[in-house]
Amino acid sequence: MRYAKGSLVITTQGDIPLLRQVRNSRFISHQQLFELLQYDAHVSSRGSFNWRVQRLIKAHQLERLESVSWQGSPIYSITPNGLAELESQGEFAIALHSRTRQMPDRAQVFHALELNAIRLSMTRNALVVNWQSEVEISSANMVSAAPYQKDYDAIVKVWIGAEVRQFALKYERSLKSSKQYEKVRAALEAERQIACVIYLTADSDLLLALLYQLTPISKRLGFLTARSFRERLLAASVTTDARSAMVTLEEFLLYSHPLYMGA
């Protein structure tokens, strides 16, 4: 089939996975996008990837953010045109669609980029079985008969040896009010779909503040800094409450299985 010169032809093998990844990430750097698509076997050539991104920017499917970068790499977000293209291919997300009045808030850029970095750290070490993004979680929560109690930043399945463990992930860059944390505690206490929640924080001071606000609690929670998580992964030390000794993330996840928790 021949196409008119200069026309944009969206491919299901190349363009749709790229647009979907940008949408689900809300914001993502050029390098992060390339690596995630590479690990998912959607791209192999850096040159063709660069060409594809520039082509989608020129077609106003993607937007490059001005005056902001991540480790020297440009940052992208999806546009309403890009969302409409995804929807034309059956890729609809209730939480972020082409008629959404409020597109992703740029105040959340570095929150999103840090989550991408966390995901990549696990992916590079062959730990990730599945990563469900906040866009996917909140979309599912809007229609589910048994929704999660919170729109978590991610729900992750990882390999622990030959076994798979699942956890909800929350990343905190700043401290909320005590009233907000009361609501968070109530939601976590009511959560029945997820056995454990990992809270990552921007620094150790915020970790201690969260520990004070959210414990003691019946839900199994683990707290550690995002940097420790990225650098040490399953060997990172996790705090569960002020009275208990720290454990490794591997131990925390292994013994968060219902089989062990009911023992």
- Quickly state the pLDDT bin for 13 (edges 50, 70, 90): confident
Distance CA 184, CA 100 (A): 26
Is 90 exceeded by the pLDDT of residue 210?
yes
Q: What interhelical angle do 15-25 and 30-39 show, nearest 10? A: 120
pLDDT attached to residue 257: 61
Q: Region 32-50: what's the mean pLDDT?
A: 94
Q: Say if CB 87 and CB 66 are below 8 A apart.
A: no
Please give the model's pTM, rounded to 2 decimal places.
0.91
169-193 per-position pLDDT tens digit: 999 999 999 999 999 999 999 999 9
Is 70 exceeded by the pLDDT of residue 3?
no
Q: Region 63-67: what's the mean pLDDT?
A: 94
Is 60 exceeded by the pLDDT of residue 14?
yes
Beta bridge partners of 76: 28, 64
pLDDT attached to residue 16: 95
- Quickly state the pLDDT bin for 53 (edges 50, 70, 90): very high
Between 51-55, 57-61, 99-103, the lowest mean confidence (pLDDT) is in: 99-103
The larger pLDDT score, comparing residue 242 to residue 124, is at: 124
Q: Region 127-147: what's the mean pLDDT?
A: 95
DSSP labels, 104-172: PPGGGHHHHHHHHHHHHHHHHTT-EEEEEEHHHHHHHHTT-SS--SS--SEEEEEEETTEEEEEEEEEE
Distance CA 166, CA 172 (A): 20
